[in-house]
Amino acid sequence: MEAELEEAERCIEAAQNCLKCGEREKALQYLHRAQQWHPTQRARALIDSIIRNRSSAGWSNDKDADDAASRSSRLKRCVNGNTSAGIGEAAKGYTPDQLEGVRRIKKCRNYYEILGVGRSADEEDLKRSYRKLALKFHPDKNCAPGATDAFKAIGNAYAILSNPEKRKQYDRRGEEPPTVRSPYANSSNYYREFEADITPEDLFNMFFGGRFPTGNIHAYTNGRTTYTHIYRRRRRMNDRVEEEEQDERIQGTYSAFVQLLPVFILVFVSLLAQLMVTNPPYSLYYKPSLGHVLPRETEHFKVTYFVDKGFEKEYQGIPLQNVENNVENDYIDHLQNSCWKEKQQKTDLLNLARLYRDERLKQKAESLKTENCEKLSRLVELQRGG
């Protein structure tokens, strides 16, 4: 019986795929075979719909409705294609692992086996298992035959076991009949007693959509209880959650702004300071970016420095003397630093030559020139002479 139902479901899926490709006649053939395997309301509804469309559109078995080129183009767009060699082939592509997973769910005897947890599993274990299985068996990702029913069984299992009261009732009653079955098959009162209060699709949206279902309010019964009020209550709950989240976002934005305010102030002060700082009137080197392109010499030590074109108009007399004193001091500081580096380099090479007893390295060290030291010595002599 189960194998016949599975073959019927495969025929229905193949017929739906043919309808997407425009192959109405082939879809009818698949649907009639599905009814032969196992009559269902789903296949009957599709057959009636195709016949009604045939009558309204005026098409029949006439092959001229679509030309051969158009038919070929549509067939190429079919998902994984359909073959007339055998109905057992799936209309959509799926992996052997996906099919094996569906078969495992079908063989489960209780909700704990479906979720793959023990009877002592806590709420976190149930959530973790549901997230993993729901993503694996969602119809958008798993096209294996029976994946939709497996997805519904997983949602139903979590909805029951995550409800403490229903879980206690379920544990008292023990294992229930197989939960993965056709939605059109007759169900027992025993099964309906443990039916979920929420559809598997809405449960999936709660986990992965980030919110409670807010679609149309559905009134459906589960044995003795009507669940319209549950959807209304959850919609109100969703509205409150959204308001709280909005308040938290506003408060979080304000708090972040307050925390970053000192950084903004520092950046602003730094930019303001840079704008207020003026360029120096001279440079020891040629710097076109600052406008220091005109060479000059100090009156005392004859140190060369560079100024811009408006320097002579602005600096004369005492201001000019102050600038040249600064130039000579900067020049002396530069020579002292450079001289120290030259001596340090020469000393390091001599120490290496002694360490490795390398005569060639010793000669190289002794031949190093200390030009900046020599310039500094001449300036010192000029100062003494002045």
Query: Residue-wise pLDDT tens for the chain (386 aa)?
Result: 667 777 888 888 888 888 877 788 888 888 888 888 888 888 888 888 888 877 655 444 444 444 443 444 444 444 344 433 334 334 456 888 888 999 999 999 899 999 999 999 999 999 999 999 988 998 888 888 888 999 999 999 999 999 999 999 898 876 554 444 444 333 333 344 455 556 777 777 766 664 434 333 333 334 434 444 455 555 666 677 777 777 777 877 888 888 888 998 999 888 887 776 677 889 998 989 888 999 999 988 889 999 998 898 889 899 999 999 999 899 999 999 999 999 999 899 899 988 889 999 899 888 988 899 988 888 888 877 75
Neighbour-count burial for 179-200, b at 16+ CB within 10 Å, e otherwise: bbbbeeeeeeeebeebbbbbbb
Chain centroid to CA 228: how far? Answer: 36
Q: What is the pTM of this model?
A: 0.33
Please, what is the Cα angle at 337 between 332 and 339, to 5 degrees? 90
Q: Helices 371-385 and 318-356 sit at what angle, rounded to 10 degrees? A: 140
Sign, CA torsion 235/236/238/239: positive
The candidate with the shortest Cα–Cα distance to 145, out of 101, 199, 84, is 101
Beta bridge partners of 295: 306
CB 297 within 8 A of CB 341: no
What is the SS3 assignment for 222? strand
Q: H-type helices in 85-220, by residue range?
A: 96-107, 111-115, 123-137, 147-161, 164-173, 189-193, 200-208
Distances (CA, A) of 136 to 33, 37, 147, 189, 290: 30, 29, 9, 30, 66
CATH superfamily of 96-210: DnaJ domain (1.10.287.110)
Neighbour-count burial for 110-146, b at 16+ CB within 10 Å, e otherwise: bbbbbbbbeeebeeeebeebbeebbebbbeeebbbbb
Query: DSSP assignment, residue 334?
Result: H
